[in-house]
Amino acid sequence: MISTLLYATGNVGKVFEVSRHLQPTGLEVVSPSDLGISAQIEESGTTLEENALLKARAYHELAPQHLIMADDTGLEIDALGGEPGVFVRRWKDHVHDMTDQEIIDYTLERLAGFPDEQRGAQFRTVIALIWPDGTEKLVDGILRGQISQQAAEIHIPGLPFEGLFYVPEWGYLLGETRIMDHDQKKNFLSHRERAVEKVVTFLQ
């Protein structure tokens, strides 16, 4: 009987968020640092699925007795054929890292002249699960929205699209929901949370 899930991330906030959603499964969620594991995994895949599996398989090798969970997230803009996808940080030339502001400016530049109805986009998170016996499972979570004509004054370091990504079904920018308290936010599930909810359903 598996009692522990190793979430392959160094982001404490993500571990806390996922732990809360996985409570119904009874699994204890731990991070690599909780187990004294340190690894640098090169995300060399060209799809979210490939990157999530790369991370999950690497940690499966390091901690084979645990259920492993790894994820990858990308933004897919309809009018740009799904760009930037997995290449958010290295979107412009796939080589050099861009700053948050450079990403915001480049997004608005690429979509200049597009009316609101042609600015559709989606955040997509893919989660890979690997059991101790090597069984693998992929699920994804999608949040549809649109890219605003200009960026709002919302800046969350490392998350450049928070002030650009508007979700019509909510009536809020994604960044506006980040600063809500839990009772307010529980009605606004992010792409990652939607993927985790699928994991909960599957595990139960």
Catalytic residues: 72
Question: For residue 202, what are its two tokens?
Answer: 């599957």
Report which of 186, 167, 181 is spatially closest to residue 122, judged by C-alpha positions. 167
* Secondary structure (DSSP) of the chain: ---EEEE----HHHHHHHHHHTGGGTPEEE-TGGGT---------SSHHHHHHHHHHHHHHH-TTSEEEEEEEEEEEGGGTT-EET-STTTTTSSSPPPHHHHHHHHHHHTTT--GGG-EEEEEEEEEEE-TT--EEEEEEEEEEEE-SS--S--BTTBGGGGTEEETTTTEEHHHHHTS-HHHHTT---HHHHHHHHHHHHH-
CB atoms within 10 A of CB 139: 19
